[in-house]
Structure 1
Amino acid sequence: MKTIYKIIITGFLLIVSSCTKEYLDKKPNKALLVPTTLTDFQALLDNTGVMNVVPAIQRIAADYYYTTNAGLIAYANPFEQNSYLWAKDVYQGASMSDWNIPYQQVFYANIALDGLNDIKPDASTQIDYNRVKGSALFYRAIAFYHLAQLFCKPYNPATASQDLGIPISLSSDVNVRPGRGTVQKTYNQIITDLTAAASLLPVTATLKSRPSRPAALALLARAYQTMLNYDQALSYASQCLQLKNSLLDYNTLSTTSSSPFPASLPNGNDEVLFHSITLSYSFAKSALTGIDTLLYRSFSANDLRKSLFFNAPNVNNMIRAKNSYAGTAGTFAGIALDEIYLIKAECYARKGDINNSMNDLNILLAKRYKAGTFASLTASSADDALAKILVERRKELLTNVGLLRWTDLRRLNQEPRFAVTLNRIINGQVYTLPPNDPRYVFPIPDDEIAGSGIEQNIR
């Protein structure tokens, strides 16, 4: 991570005065480097251009999207083409924001956490102190989580204590260079940070770009689901929904609008718990990138998601996704309550509780169909309930425009009944990604390997 530290050790006062990316190009002024007050640390964490951005390369590799021969050639970066075809050499020497941005977030969070150790809050500052500390812990945890989805093997309880993790940096001291550790240690840190964050954060954040207690509980539910610990995932999803449970009624939205969803910032979308957007890559903007047609056809005529999620076919006969839960420019990659209902429903089904699983699913779906047309789904068995929930999960989480699909593929491929083989056809050649293939783990960028000497992933 030495490379990223060179990028981000810059004049702190530039961050406070203007939360733009300009400061990244400035030379450091050591007299201005160290934030010291709660206001300073809050300003550091409010840099949405860094702290609310999420990796996107996994969206290219998952199965929501497809492109044509011409579309693939038009992608701006070789790593986009290589990710789409699951090539072994993805980056071809390029530095990768999908690695660098999360570690910027970790570094900023560690600056705040280290600095808070020198502040002794009193009765007048305790609430602000707790919010800043909880926010820093949340940002560090979500950065580690996103990195784990790309650069670690899928969590497997039988092998997690041996599988390679990511470097877990818990200090802003750039001379502290942690090794990779294990997958188990990676997730342990994520859980530790989020548990502490949930105890410190307010129930309602002043802005959705800031974390809240429900957001921390929701991310705990997501993390435990990723770890295949469905009992804990159920517990945290339930705790989240006890605090916040609003769902958008899609009947109130315009199906003809190109941006039908209210903007999540500052506080426009009640279903959004935490706002972030993906890195911007050319594949998502290309008129030759389309949504999987079989997925599109799986939405029934009375399902409002079909017209709210998708535009009509373009001149290339491609189905394109509309603006997502961000509501404006940028692709939503945050945390929303639809995901939490689905986690809760899935966990109930895995426990054999058919009634509660279908009840949570139907609460969600009732807000997605034309008024008066939705008939509650039923299930003949727990397995039937689970299968129905996973179908709806894939459809519904287009609100996150594919961000979570990569994690779901990695997780569900460990169950033979849900495992899928992905296929692409480019220039008449078939490219295949079987379940549990090593290419479900991205290589660590070449510059990081050269600078740190940590072990590379087998691909």
Structure 2
Amino acid sequence: MKNIFSRSATVLTLGLALALTSCDKQLDIDPQQSVDAGTALNSEANVASAVVGLYAQLGNSNLYGTNLILVPELLAAVDTYIRFQGTFGNFRDIANRNTRAENSTAETVWREAYQAINQANLVIDALPVVANPVSKTRFEGEARFVRGTMYFELVRLYGKQYNDKTAATDLGVPISLVPVRTVAEADRKIARSTVAKVYEQVIDDLTKAIALLPTTNGNRATRFTAKAMLARVYLQQATEESYKKAGIQADEVIKTSGKSLAPTLEAVFRGRNGSETLLEIQQNDQNNAGTGNSGLATHYASLGGVGRGDVLVLPAFAAQYGANDARGKDPLLYNSTGARRVSAPNVALRTGKYTTFGQNIPVIRLAEMYLIRAEAAFRAGDLPTALADLNRIRTRSGATPLTLTNLTPANGLATILRERQLELAFEGFRIHDLKRTGTNLVTANGTVIPITLDRLVLPIPKRETDLNDPNNPVLIQNPGY
């Protein structure tokens, strides 16, 4: 592997330069592409701007601006959930489980995530120039939050599901904690760390971010944002101990973050930085991911001239919402007539979560924490807590409350997983939930697609494996590619 970050270090430094200039802190460089990252972060002001650039990178269309949310949904596409009917071959192949190592989406997600990691490494390395101790602590916390989050997204897309029996040998993704500034540094060949090692790094970064981040930080990551992400990480590990840890983190966010459920689910996606969200990608009509055929509204929407309507919500999924459940009604599930859709099985359905190019994108919200705490409580035998948390989510949308008969040992886990699917639909959770619970994909005619299928893990980009030394390859491709 010649360079897991990008083929050219100048691309990295250019990205850093753009992050700095995005805050109107222009660098005096000539030419722009040759700015040296080592000198770019030589002042506290430039480090501050680079931290802002980290959030801009998270909103990249290949990260949370589109692909880290869209791709996990496409990986779970079956005729009882969604169908991709667009013309983009890269997305169609993922949805049809025909992905190849040359897939452009698999390549760009990898590249942009590692660029975010490298920018975080650059910030951490430059902290000695920050004189203000409060700013220094916060900058480190933000950089560690971004780095840990990106490694988490990478390992669960490009590695196998965490399994405590095999995680120490299953291949994850390469780990680099050293910033890349030059072409020579970019030429380092780094092998894939194990899934266990990557999770260790993720948990270490997020744990330290919790200690470093403030409780309030504008629209940026806070201590509670990091706790919520750590709860998500522990849930994904799917061990008896990690489920307990997930519940503890979620409980602390619920009780101490000051966040509260929005009055309606619609309000979460129509508003900006409301009471429920712990992290949103900040967008507006002039600056968003919905350009160049990217953006969640581009692919999900088909309303009033907005969107391509690439992702069709299928009737079998829509029918799972109860008659009074607002999540299954216009405007959260609609067609162009705006009429209620659950009772009309033959219409083209869309999600109403993403309907404008400039809307903010919720990445972490409090409803997820209630669902995590509910699952952890159920697994620990605390059925009253699990039931209360599930019903908080359901009653917010007018759904019929559940009872303890829905949480028996035989049906309880399926009830909780279904509630997560209904509440968090189209937000990037589905394939990850199916993997951690060992739940196979099943088509309408009963065909079973094993959740362990090789093509449900993205390939290591061919452009990276092609740069292996043929006599001593260090970057091993995933099975099936």
Shared fold per TM-score greater than 0.5: yes
Which of residues 412, 421, 427 in structure 1 aligns to 2:441?
421
Q: Mapping of 1:107-146 within 5 angstroms?
A: 107-116=118-127, 118-119=128-129, 121=131, 125-146=132-153
Question: 1:160 and 2:167 equivalent?
Answer: yes
Q: Following superposition of structure 1 onto structure 2, how do residues 318-329 of structure 1 map, counting pairs within 5 Å?
A: 318-324=348-354, 329=358
Identity of aligned residues (%): 25
- Cα deviation, residue 17, structure 1: 2.6
Please point out which of 278, 281, 284 is paired with 1:276. 281
Task: Describe the SS at the equivalent of 1:136.
Answer: helix
Distance verdict in 2 for CA 1:286–1:182, change over 3 Å: same
Contact 2:103 2:461 in 1 (8 A): no
- Is the aligned partner of 1:212 residue 2:222? yes
Match of 2:463 in 1: 447
Match in the other structure for 1:341? 370
Q: What is the CA–CA distance in structure 2 between the aligned matches of 1:353 and 1:44, rounded to whole Å?
A: 45
The superposition leaves residues 387-423 of structure 1 with CA deviations (integer Å, 9 ceiling, x where unpaired) of 222111100002xx2401111111112xxxxx22344
1:263 corresponds to which residue?
A: 271
Letter in 1 for 2:403: L
Q: Quickly say closer, same or farther: Cα 1:360–1:35, change in 2 above 3 A.
A: same
Return closer, same or farther for 1:290/1:237 CA change in 2, 3 Å cut-off: same
Aligned to 1:301: 323
Q: Secondary structure at the match of 1:46?
A: helix
Correspondences of 1:71-90 after superposition (within 5 Å)? 71=85, 74-76=86-88, 78-89=89-100
Residue identity matched to 2:82: Y
1:141-199 superposed Cα distances (whole Å, 9 cap, x missing partner): 11111111210001001000000010111010334543101000000000000000001
Q: CA deviation at 1:31?
A: 8.6
Once the 2 structures are TM-superposed, how far is the Cα of residue 81 of structure 1 from its aligned partner?
A: 1.8
Aligned runs of 1:386-401 on 2, under 5 Å?
386-398=413-425, 401=426
Q: CA deviation at 1:280?
A: 3.2
Q: Which amino acid aligns with 2:309?
A: A
Paired AA for residue 463 in structure 2: D
Question: Which residue pairs with 1:37 in the alignment?
Answer: 43
- Specify which of 131, 138, 154 is matched with residue 147 of structure 1: 154
Q: How far apart are 1:120 and its partner, in Å?
A: 6.5
- More off after superposition, 38-47 vs 216-225: 38-47
> Is the contact between residue 17 and residue 35 of structure 2 (CA under 8 Å) also seen in structure 1?
no
Q: What SS is found at the alignment partner of 1:340? A: helix
Q: Quick one: which amino acid aligns to residue 272 of structure 1?
A: T
Answer yes or no: is 1:236 the counterpart of 2:249. Answer: yes
Distance 1:239 1:88 in 2: 40
CA contact (8 A) 2:171 2:195 kept: yes
Q: Deviations over 1:210-231 (max 9, x none)?
A: 2111110011110001001201
Higher deviation after alignment, 236-245 or 48-57: 48-57
Structure 1 residues 309-324: aligned runs within 5 Å = 309-312=332-335, 317-324=347-354
Question: How many pairs are equivalent?
Answer: 422
- Specify whether residues 31 and 420 from structure 1 end up closer, same or farther in structure 2 by C-alpha distance, changes over 3 A only: closer
CA offset at residue 299 of structure 1? 1.0
Deviation, structure 1 residue 84? 1.3
Distance in 2 (CA, whole Å) between partners of 1:382 and 1:230 is 17
Q: Who is 2:285 aligned against?
A: none
Kindly indicate whether residue 194 of structure 2 is the aligned counterpart of residue 182 of structure 1.
yes
Could you give the per-residue CA deviations for residues 245-267 of structure 1, whole angstroms, max 9, x where no partner exists?
Answer: 4101129x68xxxxx83333xx3
Equivalent pair of 1:433/1:439 in contact (CA under 8 Å): no
Q: Per the alignment, do residues 15 and 289 of structure 1 end up closer, same or farther by CA in structure 2, a change over 3 Å counting? A: closer
Relative to structure 2, which stretch is displaced further, 5-14 or 165-174?
Answer: 5-14
Q: Tell me what 1:257 maps to.
A: none
Q: 2:429 aligns with which of 398, 404, 418?
A: 404
**1: CA distance between counterparts of 2:356 and 2:224?**
21
Alpha-carbon separation, structure 2, partners of 1:26 and 1:170: 26
Query: Which of 276-285 and 334-343 deviates more?
Result: 276-285
Structure 1 residue corresponding to 2:380, chosen from 345, 351, 355:
351
SS at match of 1:3: coil
State the alpha-carbon separation in 2 of the partners of residues 339 and 33 from structure 1. 41
Q: AA paired with 1:309? A: L
CA distance in 1, matches of 2:453, 2:105: 24
Among candidates 49, 53, 56, match of residue 56 of structure 2: 49
- Give the TM-score normalised by structure 1: 0.83
TM-score by length of 2: 0.79
* Partner secondary structure for residue 225 of structure 1: helix
